[in-house]
């Protein structure tokens, strides 16, 4: 499935670069626009900033498309551009947690829903407080389901470094969740 997706991406890229086929480029943008937006949102934590980051990332990717060497999947290359754009965009500005975001829950009981909502908000605050590289390793592994090797490719570091960042982040989140469940203030 992944191989099919990868070769389809390569075909679309070649079609656009060789013949200027805009439909091919449009297909690529439509395929990945939601994924890119979600990464941007997870990194920036704000809808408006995520919109700006998504647009900047796509424009950068399209202008650099001729330099794409096909050593990795287009998806991985695009994620790397998105992460770098998001980090540059959010550098110096504090990560904001939107309290008005809608949270899906299967819980039918109101009390359970409130507890879950509180836990998730707490978790989100904790995620926001993580150092950028730890936060990105969690976003790529948990939300995007990337393997250690793919995450290392996106982050531009070794697999060992990814494991280190990821496990540090998970341990911090575990501690925060445990403290919340025990009713401690953090």
Partner 1 sequence: MKSEHDEIKDMLHEYLHGTLSDEKAALVKGHLSGCDDCAHEVNIAVALLKIVAPDPGAVYFNNLTKTVLSTARANTPKKFNLWKYIFRPIPIAAAASLCLVIYLTIFNLGNFRNSHPKQVQIASNTQNNITRNYVTHHTQNTNIVMDTSATDDTLYSLLMEEDYDDGFTSVYGGYDHDDDSYEE
Which residues contact partner 1 (rule: CB under 8 A)?
20, 22, 25-26, 29-30, 33-34, 37-38, 41-42, 47, 50-51, 54-55, 58-59, 62-63, 98, 101-105, 116, 119-120, 123-124, 127, 138, 141-143, 145-148, 170, 173-174, 177
Contact present, 51 and 37 (Cβ < 8 Å):
yes
Task: State the nearest-atom distance from the C-beta of 137 to partner 1, in Å.
Answer: 11
Judged by CB, which is closer to partner 1: 8, or 120?
A: 120
Q: In whole angstroms, what is the distance from residue 51 CA to residue 183 CA?
A: 36
Contact present, 141 and 151 (Cβ < 8 Å):
yes
Judged by CB, which is closer to partner 1: 71, or 102?
A: 102
In Å, what is the CA distance from 170 to each residue of 72, 84, 90, 164? Answer: 27, 22, 22, 10
Task: State the nearest-atom distance from the C-beta of 36 to partner 1, in Å.
Answer: 9
Q: DSSP characters for 113-134?
A: HHHHHHHHHHHHHHHHHS-HHH
Task: State the nearest-atom distance from the C-beta of 71 to partner 1, in Å.
Answer: 23
Judged by CB, which is closer to partner 1: 38, or 161?
A: 38
Q: 32 Cβ partners below 8 Å, 6+ apart?
A: 75, 78
Task: State the nearest-atom distance from the C-beta of 130 to partner 1, in Å.
Answer: 12
Judged by CB, which is closer to partner 1: 87, or 170?
A: 170
Contact present, 81 and 98 (Cβ < 8 Å):
no
Task: State the nearest-atom distance from the C-beta of 102 to partner 1, in Å.
Answer: 6
């Amino acid at each position: 499935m992944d191989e099919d997706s990868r070769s389809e991406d390569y075909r679309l890229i070649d079609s656009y670069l060789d013949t200027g086929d805009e439909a091919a480029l449009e297909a690529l943008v439509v395929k990945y626009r939601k994924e890119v937006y979600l990464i941007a949102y997870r990194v920036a934590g704000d809808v408006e900033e995520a919109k700006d980051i998504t647009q900047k990332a796509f424009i950068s990717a399209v202008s650099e498309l001729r330099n794409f060497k096909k050593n990795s999947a287009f998806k991985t290359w695009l994620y790397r551009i998105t992460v770098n754009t998001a980090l540059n965009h959010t550098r110096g500005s504090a990560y904001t947690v939107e309290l008005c975001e809608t949270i899906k829950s299967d819980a039918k009981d109101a009390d359970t829903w409130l507890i879950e909502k509180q836990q998730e908000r707490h978790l989100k605050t904790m995620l926001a407080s993580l150092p950028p590289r730890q936060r990105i390793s969690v976003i790529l592994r948990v939300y995007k389901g990337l393997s250690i090797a793919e995450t290392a490719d996106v982050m531009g570091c070794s697999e060992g470094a990814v494991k280190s960042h990821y496990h540090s982040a998970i341990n911090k989140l575990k501690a925060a969740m445990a403290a919340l469940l025990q009713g401690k203030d953090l």
